[in-house]
Amino acid sequence: MRDKQLHTPEGVRDIHCNEALKKHEIQRRIMAVFHHYGFLDVQTPTFEYIDVFSHDSGTIDIKNMYKFFDSDGNILVMRPDITPSVARMMATGYHHENTPKRFCYLGNAFRNIESYQLKLREFTQAGVELIGIDSEDADAEIIAIVIQSLLAVGLKDFQIDIGQAGFFKGLLEEAGLDSKYEEELRMLIDQKNYIAVEELLDSLELDQAHKKVLLDLPKFFGDVKVIEQAKSTTMNKKALAALDRLERIYNILCDYKVEQYISFDLGMVSQINYYTGIVFRGYTFGTGVSIVDGGRYDTLLQEFGHSAPAVGFAIIVDEVMNSIERQHIEIDVPSTDTLLLYNLKSRTMAISIADRMRREGMRIEIGMLDRDLEENIAYGKKNHIGGIMNFLSLDEVELVNLETEERNTVDVKSLF
């Protein structure tokens, strides 16, 4: 019992002072990019009815959700993903409007994943959802926002892999594959489990041409030339239309001048069922998993009784932090400007002056009043505080520069 009282469960962790400051700064930069593109903040509940995240809504497996009952016997879940919550909110709160909606959010999600996967079970998502527009320009804009967000936090070496759910669905249609095998095949291809893919296709007795295309799907990976290669493998109109759209999206991304961050992976057939068009993931050094996931989900809102096209993404802030730390990228965070010391006689004046300085934007921390100056100097240096104001009397204040260790006693009136 005592051991559990002092430790956190697997998959969750404490975030201490300096790291919390860095996380806050990373989140601030990401959200600033969202706002510059005209997206507005929304907040959804941390827990919802399980129906919002049911299998029909195309979210993660129910077994990976944290479930509990409310006092009325309803099954609730801690949200495993924020996108379905935003879709529900859109369908219920904005169903009477026919103009596009630009939503952005920042919040924690929860997934009860296996401990051996070594992933966080509580993690922070920062994302956007562009609802009401079905166009290549909307798809390209969303990917450009991802890239600008990652650049804003200091990442330089990263890659956005783009796939196309429509291409995969077209291939399945052309091969005549029964829809009941689609999810299993998608999962195996996404995991790049080639042996299992071949075994499944053999058991379905597909002709060699269609079998070869599906087996070769993970090989369609690389620059824009991959799109032309993929076009030569199919005559299916749905698959070809998906590839044509992908090509047009790439051309728009060139206009954004971000093509150096783009690659294509037509074997990326996400296990998130609600993606209907482009699907993409972002990768960088220092983490073994994607730092951003997104795509087009034109049918998700239908699950909530409101039909509208949509595209969006979620940045996994915790994975971004891991990458930044392992790539030794500096994140400047604010520190305390001044440590304030005073005695009984100078207290009223010192507090008044400190309040005035705070209103002007400075960070003023009251020091250890029961300790001597030398101990406060040591404390200030340890915590990267700029200096000390030690009010000796109503007339005199001792100023200590903690970087140079220079000390001066000046008239209080000279402070302003």
- Which of 112-116, 150-154, 224-228, 350-354 has the least mean pLDDT? 112-116
How far, in Å, CA of 76 to CA of 313, rounded?
24
Amino acid 227: pLDDT: 95
Domains of the chain listed by start with CATH number: 15-325 (3.30.930.10), 336-413 (3.40.50.800)
- Which of 26-30, 209-213, 361-365 has the least mean pLDDT? 209-213
What are all long-range contacts of 118-123, with beta carbons under 8 Å and residues at least 24 apart? 119/11, 119/289, 120/11, 120/12, 120/13, 120/318, 121/9, 121/10, 121/11, 121/12, 122/11, 122/12, 123/316, 123/317, 123/318, 123/319
Asked whether the beta carbons of 204 and 177 are under 8 A apart, the reply is yes
Amino acid 1: pLDDT: 54
Please report which confidence band the pLDDT of residue 118 belongs to, taking 50, 70 and 90 as the band edges. Answer: low
Please report which confidence band the pLDDT of residue 242 belongs to, taking 50, 70 and 90 as the band edges. Answer: very high
Instruction: Note the pLDDT tens digit of each residue in 173-213.
Output: 888 887 778 878 888 887 778 888 888 888 887 788 888 88
Average pLDDT, the chain: 91
Task: Determine if residue 111 is labeled as part of a ligand binding site.
Answer: yes
Amino acid 96: pLDDT: 85
Amino acid 202: pLDDT: 81
Report the phi/psi class of residue 73: left, alpha or beta, with left for phi > 0 and alpha for psi in -120 to 50: left
Residue 164: phi, psi to the nearest 5? Answer: -145, 110
Contact residues for 300 (Cβ-Cβ < 8 A; gap 6+): 57, 58, 83, 84, 87, 274, 310
Amino acid 180: pLDDT: 77
> Is residue 133 predicted with pLDDT exceeding 90?
yes
Task: Determine if residue 274 is labeled as part of a ligand binding site.
Answer: yes
Q: Higher model confidence: residue 114 or residue 62? A: 62
Please report which confidence band the pLDDT of residue 9 belongs to, taking 50, 70 and 90 as the band edges. Answer: confident
Amino acid 205: pLDDT: 76
Task: Determine if residue 125 is labeled as part of a ligand binding site.
Answer: yes
Task: Determine if residue 377 is labeled as part of a ligand binding site.
Answer: no
Task: Determine if residue 129 is labeled as part of a ligand binding site.
Answer: yes
Task: Determine if residue 351 is labeled as part of a ligand binding site.
Answer: no
Nearest to 281 by CA among 196, 161, 166, 122: 161
Amino acid 114: pLDDT: 77
H helix or E strand, kind and range, residue 127:
strand 122-131
* Nearest 10 degrees: Cα torsion 43, 46, 47, 51: 50
Burial class (CB in 10 A: 0-12, 13-18, 19+), 411: exposed
Task: Determine if residue 275 is labeled as part of a ligand binding site.
Answer: yes
Q: Higher model confidence: residue 3 or residue 79? A: 79
The share of the chain scoring above pLDDT 90, in percent, equals 68
Task: Determine if residue 82 is labeled as part of a ligand binding site.
Answer: yes
Amino acid 57: pLDDT: 57
> Is residue 414 predicted with pLDDT exceeding 90?
no
Instruction: Note the pLDDT tens digit of each residue in 303-341.
Output: 888 889 999 999 999 999 999 999 999 999 889 999 999
Instruction: Note the pLDDT tens digit of each residue in 78-106.
Output: 999 999 999 999 999 988 888 999 999 99
Query: DSSP for 253-301?
Result: HHHTT-GGGEEEETT---S-TT--SEEEEEEETT-SS-SEEEEE-TTGG
Instruction: Note the pLDDT tens digit of each residue in 39-69.
Output: 999 999 999 999 998 865 556 788 889 999 9
